[in-house]
């Protein structure tokens, strides 16, 4: 079974599996019932997936998971922003929908494996352990959003384009005449798209106004809602102090947003919750690459219990951000910052 989003990567993933002689079925998840002007949830994306499947000569089905998406992705996203946190809805979607509900359904139907167009790699070692690795194309690597996949899930997952660069994926799609060959990548949160994230969140959970203070506690200004701020933010603060200031804390219960100089952001550790390992916990003395954004640069650190201790101070990780732990190119686990 191939999860076909209507983009070029999943289109080529399906094509490669057909070429390899597999019995392929394409499936598209209908996730978002509201308006969408971008991302991977539009009516046009479903049609693109259907047309590509027809070009490849494979059956195509649409599974409606809108209620699950609302419950496990959209509602938590809005609630997290209202609580001053910074969630990653793509990680939540992968955990609960693509490699949760869809993989379970695939197994129920007797499917051998679930493939997607993610730029990542899975490798089974001689020891029987399935390892999740970064993609060949480092600039397009998507292993970060796969945090939470464990051995049970990885054993049934395939990433056919993980060994190709993005340019090679597009070239393969063009050679096959696939309609998605030149389709632009989706970069926005699919259910928000180019709409105003703040307006989306506040329409669901209401505005939570409060005050902006400096790092001494001095009140600087009032603000219209904490969903407008995230730790590390520099632009759009609504205060002019003559020098750069960053959001260093968002206190949801009081509605207080604290700003300060860049030095005030520095931390030497971050606590994690819901910590999950791909196979086994890395040794306590192993220096890992700690990545806190989808395409961020990993910082060296060690895992001490449920806390990552950085080798050198880094900018504070916002609560709710996904923290991925790498041993070289291997994703070994991760959790959410607290």
Mean per-residue pLDDT, 288-313: 97
Active site residue 41: no
Instruction: Indicate the average pLDDT of the chain.
Output: 94
User: Which one from 40, 41, 90, 190 is the annotated catalytic residue?
Assistant: 190
pLDDT at 37 over 50: no
- Domain parsing of the chain, residue ranges: 2-117+160-176, 207-260
Active-site residue (options: 40, 41, 90, 93):
93
pLDDT tens track for 171-198: 999 999 999 999 988 766 888 865 688 9
Check residue 242 and give its pLDDT. Answer: 81
- Alpha helix segments (H runs only) across 191-267: 197-205
- Cα–Cα dist 180/272, whole Å: 39
The pLDDT tens digits for 90-108 are 999 999 999 999 999 999 9
pLDDT of residue 189: 81
DSSP classification of residue 283? P
The CATH superfamily label for domain 2-117+160-176 reads HUPs (3.40.50.620)
The whole-number pLDDT of residue 43 equals 79
Backbone angles phi, psi at 157, to 5 degrees: -115, 145
Q: Cα dist. 300→244, 256, 297 in Å?
A: 27, 32, 10
pTM of the predicted model as reported, rounded to 2 decimal places: 0.93
Active site residue 90: no
Q: What is the pLDDT of residue 293?
A: 94
Domain 207-260 carries which CATH code? Answer: 2.30.30.280
Contact 231, 319 (CB under 8 A): yes
């Amino acid at each position: 079974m191939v999860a076909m989003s209507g983009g070029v990567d999943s289109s080529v993933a399906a094509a490669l599996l057909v070429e390899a002689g597999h019995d392929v079925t394409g499936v598209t998840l209908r996730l978002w019932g509201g308006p969408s002007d971008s991302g991977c949830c539009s009516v046009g994306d479903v049609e693109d997936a259907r047309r590509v499947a027809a070009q490849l000569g494979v059956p195509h089905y649409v599974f409606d998971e809108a209620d699950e998406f609302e419950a496990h992705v959209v509602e938590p996203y809005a609630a997290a922003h209202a609580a001053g946190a910074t969630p990653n809805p793509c990680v939540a979607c992968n955990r609960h929908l693509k490699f949760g509900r869809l993989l379970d359904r695939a197994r129920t139907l007797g499917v051998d494996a679930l493939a997607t167009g993610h730029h990542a790699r899975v490798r089974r070692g001689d020891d029987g352990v399935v390892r999740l690795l970064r993609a060949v194309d480092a600039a397009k690597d998507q292993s970060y959003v796969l945090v939470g996949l464990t051995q049970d899930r990885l054993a049934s997952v395939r990433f056919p384009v993980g060994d190709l660069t993005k340019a090679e994926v597009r070239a393969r799609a063009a050679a096959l005449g696939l309609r998605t060959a030149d389709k632009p990548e989706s970069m926005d949160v699919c259910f928000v798209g180019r709409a105003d994230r703040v307006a989306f969140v506040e329409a669901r959970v209401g505005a939570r106004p409060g005050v902006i203070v400096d790092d001494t506690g001095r009140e600087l200004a009032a603000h219209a809602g904490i969903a407008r701020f995230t730790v590390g933010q520099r632009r759009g603060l609504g205060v002019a102090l003559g020098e750069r200031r960053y959001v260093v804390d968002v206190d949801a219960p009081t509605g207080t947003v604290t700003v300060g100089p860049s030095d005030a952001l520095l931390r030497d550790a971050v606590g994690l919750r819901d910590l999950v390992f791909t196979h086994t916990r890395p040794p306590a003395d192993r220096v890992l690459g700690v990545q806190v954004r989808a395409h961020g640069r990993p910082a060296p650190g060690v895992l001490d219990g449920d806390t990552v201790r950085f080798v050198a101070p880094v900018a504070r990780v916002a609560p709710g951000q996904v923290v991925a732990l790498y041993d070289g190119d291997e994703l070994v686990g991760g959790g959410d910052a607290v």
